[in-house]
Each structure stands twice: as C-alpha cells, then as structure tokens.
Amino acid sequence: MITLTPLKQFKYPIHAECITPETFQGKTASEIAKLPLNEGNKPKQLGDLFKIEESAAEAPNIIINGDVSEVRHIGQGMKTGEIVVNGNAGMHLGEKMAGGKITVNGDVGGWAGSAMKKGLIEIHGNASDYLASPYRGISEGMKGGKIIVDGNVGSDSGCYLRGGLIKIKGNAGPFLGYHISDGIIYVEKNAASRLGANMVGGKIVVSGVADELLPSFTVDAVKPKVKIDDTESAQGPFYVFLGDLAENGTGKLFISKANNPQIGPIYGKYL
C-alpha cells in the first residue's frame, strides 16, 4: 500500500494520470516519487508534490490523505486494485476506468467516472457536473460499472449512458441522463429540469420531487416498484413516462407518485 500526502495546498492544476494501481505496481516508493507529472506548466515529479510512504498492507493499493481537489485524472484507466481518497478529489477521477474500486471520502470535481467500462466508484460527498459523461463531441458514455454518490450531483450527469448503474442518494441537477440509451440512473431525492432529455432507451428513477417534465414525454402507466439491480428495487408507486418523443425514443422515466402530486392533474386523464 502507498500513502500519498500532499506537501502543500495545491493551487495550479495537476494532471496525475500516473496515480493508478497499475502504474505503482512493482515500484518502490522512491521510484514512485520519480513519476513525472505537470503542476501548472511546470514539469515536476510526484515526490515534489506528495510525501510518499510505503507499507506492507495489501489493500487498498493507494491511499491519498488530504485535499486533492486540484489533482486531476486520479485512477484514470485503472483495471484492478483500489484507491481511497480521504479528501476532495479533482476532475476526471476514474476516467476510462475498466475495473477495481475508487472510494472518495469527500467531494469530486467534474467528469468523474467519464467513459467508465467496469468497476466501482463510491463518492461519499457531492459530485460536480458531467458525472459519468463523455468528452465533448463523443456520443457514447459510460458502458458499465457502478457509481454511487451519497450527496448531490451537478448538471449533465449520466449523459449518453449505455450501461451500468448510477445511484444518487441526494439531488440531481438538470439534464440528468441526457440521451441515455441503456443502463439505469436512480435518484433517491429530487431531480431538476430537462430530466432524460433526448432519451432513447434505459431507465431513470426518481423517488423524490421531479421538476416539470419535458413536453416530449408521454405518460404510460403506474407501476408499484421498479428493479434497480440484482440487489435492490425502488418502492413506488411510480408514474411511468415514455420518451423522448423528439428522438422517437423508448426510454422510461419512473417518477414517484407520492412526491409529485402536480403530475396527476396534468397527465392523469391519459391513465
């Protein structure tokens, strides 16, 4: 196990693609200290920015103790092993992750879990915008794996989702699940406007209050519950909406009936 402790409060962005279990594997602490990375526009080494300590413990592979909200790309592309961050983590956490586990005891920046294929990311604080959403111009998102956020998420999360599960225990910002084609997003609390815009498949479940739905969704039925994954189902009853009609989509929104009394008067007549 390697423990990294920031040597100062970071101000300039640091791109730390080198912080993955695979990269550290088989290296001594002093070899790890020599790994190159940038701090702003200055080329540095990992040892210039972090105190690096090695211990015999097998897991987790990497622990980061401190505020690393300016440290980006932690865990990028990792396939195995575990990273624990005891602090806030920067953007692009676990981007392109293909296995293993990342736990953040704090908040994360934008694009956490972007292009994820497999693995587990647990964020015990809040996530910023673009959680699990792909880079600009790419229309394929998270393919598999699981992301759990205890707090709230920002806007445009889960865009182009095509597999896997995103579970948000707090509130979700606007455009959640934009153009989702498969996979499930589960929001235990409230979901903001433009939920599921351009959705073509998949499921978004909201157990709290949903802002006004897009006019291109049509109400279909009321269901008593909905399966989230093999371990859990969400208890309804839920209004089930189909859409997005603007894309001739067949995605489903499950909106809590109890917490959304405003839906009945508008859509009730179609049920």
Q: Sketch the per residue contact string, 84 through 123, with another protein: x for CB under 8 A, - otherwise.
A: -------x------------------xx------------
- 215 in contact with another protein (CB under 8 A): yes
| Rounded Cα gap, residues 170 and 100, in angstroms | 24
- 214 in contact with another protein (CB under 8 A): yes
Bridge partners of residue 36, in order along the sequence: 45
- 265 in contact with another protein (CB under 8 A): no
| Rounded Cα gap, residues 241 and 218, in angstroms | 5
CB 136 to another protein: min, Å:
5
Window 149 to 208, contacts with another protein (CB under 8 A): 156, 174-175, 178, 193-194, 197-198
Which amino acid makes up residue 55? S
Bridge partners of residue 31, in order along the sequence: none
Q: Which residues contact 247 (CB under 8 A, 6 or more apart)?
A: 179, 198, 199, 200
| Beta strands, E only, the chain | 2-6, 14-15, 36-39, 42-45, 50-54, 62-65, 71-72, 82-86, 98-104, 118-123, 146-149, 162-168, 182-187, 203-206, 218-229, 232-243, 251-256
CB 163 to another protein: min, Å:
20
Window 42 to 71, contacts with another protein (CB under 8 A): 42, 70
Q: Sketch the per residue contact string, 16 through 35, with another protein: x for CB under 8 A, - otherwise.
A: --------------------
Residue of the chain from 40, 48, 57, 227 that contacts another protein (CB under 8 A): 40
Q: Which residues bind another protein (CB under 8 A)?
A: 11-13, 15, 38-42, 70, 72, 91, 110-111, 129-130, 135-139, 156, 174-175, 178, 193-194, 197-198, 212, 214-219, 244-246, 248, 266-267, 270
